[in-house]
Every structure is written in C-alpha cells, then in structure tokens.
Amino acid sequence: MKSSLVVPAFMLALAATPALAVVGGGDVTFTVKGAGNVVFSHEMHVSDMGQKCRECHPRIFLDSRRSKHVTMKAMGKGKSCGACHNGKKAFSVKGDCAKCHRK
C-alpha cells in the first residue's frame, strides 16, 4: 500500500519544482558615478512583471559582462532599458531618477 503512494508523491514533487526555482541572473548592479548605482532585479522583471528571458536576451542585452555600459542618452533613444521604459510599456527613463538610481 505504501509503495503505491511513492510514485504520486514523487510526481507531485517534480511538478512543484519549477515553481520553487530561482530566477536566473539574480540582481545586476550598474555602477554610475555621481548619479547613484542602478540595481536591475531579474526577479522583479521576470517573476513579478511576467517578462520572458527572450524579451531581453540576446536582443537588448547580451549578458551582464557585455551590457554594463548604458547611457541615459541611449536609453532615451530606446536602447537597453529604454526599449521598455519608454513611458508606454513601462515608466519612462526620463523624470524620476530615484526610481532606478540609489545613492
């Protein structure tokens, strides 16, 4: 009788595993001299906002090592963060600096 419960319990544990998985990438810190660093949270963008990895990778961001240099001017033209943070899809990169920059 006990052995007949092992397989369903194992299948249930397997099904729950993706829900417990950690979002890949973790936090990425962009170092900004004089304006305060920006911490990008994969957790917030993927889990909380429902974005898919392929929406940014490799189209907008290659990886954290090759995509660390970002300028406000480029973002204003729709590059990097500005691809979504344009005031339509997500809040604009123009305006409230404290939304992203932390001193």
Q: Is residue 51 part of a domain?
A: yes
Q: Is residue 2 part of a domain?
A: no
CA distance 44 to 29: 14
CATH code: domain of residue 91: 3.90.10.10
**Residues of the domain holding 74:** 23-102
Instruction: Give pLDDT tens digits for 47-67.
Output: 899 999 899 898 888 776 677
Q: Is residue 16 part of a domain?
A: no
* pLDDT interval class at 100 (50, 70, 90): very high
Domain count across the chain: 1
Q: Which two tokens stand for residue 12?
A: 């249930």
Output the 3-class SS for 49-78. CCCCHHHCCCCCCCCCCCCCCCCHHHHHCC
Q: What are phi and psi of 27, to 5 degrees?
A: -90, 145
Model-wide pTM > 0.75: no
